[in-house]
Amino acid sequence: MATLDALVTELKEIATLGSIGGLLGWDEQVLLQPKGVEFRSQQAALIARMTHERFTSKQIGDWLGELLGDKLDGDAAVVVREAKRDYDRATKLPTSLVEEISRTTTLAQAAWVEARKANDYARFSPWLIKVLDLRRQEAACIGSPSGNAYDALLDQYEPGETVASLVTLFDDLKPRLAKLVEKILTSGKRSPAEILRRDYPSEKQQALSKFAAEKIGYDFAAGRIDVSVHPFCSGIAPGDTRITTRYNPNYFGDALFGVLHETGHALYEQGLPKDQHFGTALAEAASLGVHESQSRLWENLVGRSAAFWKWLLPKTRETFPGALADVSDEQWLAAVNDVRPTFIRVDSDEATYNLHIALRFDLERKMLSGELEVAAIPTVWNETFKQYFGLDVPDAARGCLQDVHWSAGLIGYFPTYTLGNLLAAQLYEAAERDLGNLDDRHAAGEFAPLLGWLRTNVHHHGRRFSGRQLCERATGSPLSADALMRHLERKAAKFHGV
């Protein structure tokens, strides 16, 4: 086992270097002042190069070659299998291409910011052409069993997932969602969502959000909440998982649900067995979709439920006596469960969210393959949006220019959000099957049973299983749209009488 020990020791040091990069990244988004940004990019690039060089060394390749010839089982087999997977991906890409992608996407993101501000798609489209071309080159280096470039890119976010498997899911989900959304909108019943847009002083929102995060299980001795423009969670190192949020004193919906969402990510990071296995796949998240399932589960399945608000509403009333004076419990619950189409994905509700993703999944597949010309994207976007939501997109900023992903080269990333939503609903059903109905416990502020179930069935496994395998093991059935549709249909009946 000397070779395995040597490999794990080296992986741990590489991950330690990586965690320094993670800390620099957190600092850049939370604390760094503008004049420090330039040098920070050099620091980050140096760490990235050092980790890449050490991970792609011939020595690691030799160790992996030797270990793959041995008969391994249990943890060792997982560590070696996943290290080999990462090693192959990292060594298949020429350094020149990696650097070119990094350089181009940095510039493309800056161009995207400007184009969105100016509402001018033509300023961004030449950059999108370059980004797509580089990602096609990357896909060609990586390869995929199907020969489909999209599969090669998707595989780094969601191991084992393919266009074919996703198309099957979306083809089932899309018509069911569209029908439900249509029923909700024609029900004539609107939620009083305006009550969330009253005076909610930021420091009070901060105290309430922190209270909720701690109660659902976020360990503040191993984490913290700060403010950043774009909320995120960073599992920096063992014992150090940080989240951020933002506060809008005239809108309640951002901070609390944002904190519940990021806390869901943080609970996953804190639940991974990093103390024993840091540096190996056993201490890493299974996939982006599985990560997102944890955030959506706490944000939506728990955080928008009647039981949760039975627990938190009295404290919320105490915190904001003015804003909630004339609001009944039922009105509040309906407000935090509002459904209405919006142009912007990140502002959308649980019911319409996955239609936003379906649109992006369709378009990005076609633009990567070349079937959809970059110049035609705004038109096709707007047509598809109209078809799904019945709304005319007023401009590119509220249409195809709204997300950062394509400028950052993140093609194949969007579907992981929907996988997360489906998995969240399916896991929650399975947790209630195993633990009994959780409403009474959540209404009493007891979240430990659910967290314990997630620790055992999801967190504890690291990257031992793919998202679909985890799903089958934890829930007893293959991943499908059924649990999410049941959840959304229950809510539609409750709040819209349909």
Residues serving a catalytic function are 262
Residue span binding Zn ion (CB under 5 A) among the ranges 128-136, 290-298, 402-410, 485-493: 290-298
CB nearer to Zn ion: give 105 or 295.
295
Q: Which distant-in-sequence residues (6+ apart) come within 8 Å of 184 by Cβ?
A: 339, 351, 492, 496, 498
Categorise residue 480: left if φ over 0, alpha if ψ from -120 to 50, beta otherwise.
beta
Segment lying near Zn ion (by CB under 5 A), choices 71-79, 188-196, 295-303, 348-356: 295-303
Amino acid at 278: F
Provide the token pair at 430.
């399975």
For Zn ion, the closer of residues 211 and 232 by Cβ is 232
Q: How far is the CB of 169 from Zn ion (least distance, A)?
A: 19
Considering Cα of 219, then 436, then 465, then 149, what sign does the dihedral take? negative
Q: How far apart are the C-alpha atoms of 183 and 177, rounded to whole Å? A: 10
Element counts in the chain: helices (H) and strands (E): 22, 3
How many amino acids of this chain bind Zn ion (CB under 5 A)? 1
Query: Least distance to Zn ion from the beta carbon of 260, Å?
Result: 11
Q: Taking CB positions, which residue lies at the least distance from Zn ion?
A: 295
What token pair was written down for 186? 């024609």
In the bound complex, what is the minimum distance in angstroms from residue 134's beta carbon to Zn ion?
26
From the CB of 254, what's the least distance to Zn ion, in Å? 14
First to last CA, the chain: 62
Strands 223-227 and 233-237: unpaired
CB closer to Zn ion out of 263 and 295? 295
Which range, of 193-201, 294-302, 335-343, 388-396, touches Zn ion by CB under 5 A?
294-302
CB of 247 to Zn ion, least distance (A): 18
| Nearer to Zn ion (CB atom), residue 14 or residue 285 | 285
451 vs 458: CA distance, rounded Å:
10
- Nearer CB in complex with Zn ion: 280/294: 294
Closest approach, Cβ 295 to Zn ion, in A, equals: 4
The verdict on 418 binding Zn ion (CB under 5 A) reads no
Among 125, 205, 295, 300, binds Zn ion (CB under 5 A): 295
Q: Rounded to the nearest 10 degrees, how much is the dihedral formed by the CA atoms of 98, 62, 86, 451? A: -140
Q: What are phi and psi of 243, to 5 degrees?
A: -125, 160
* Residue with Cβ nearer Zn ion (10 or 269): 269
How far apart, in whole angstroms, are the C-alpha atoms of residue 369 and residue 367?
Answer: 5
Q: Which stretch binds Zn ion (CB under 5 A): 64-72, 289-297, 436-444, 473-481?
A: 289-297
β-partners of residue 235 are 241
Question: Which residues are near Zn ion by CB under 5 A?
Answer: 295
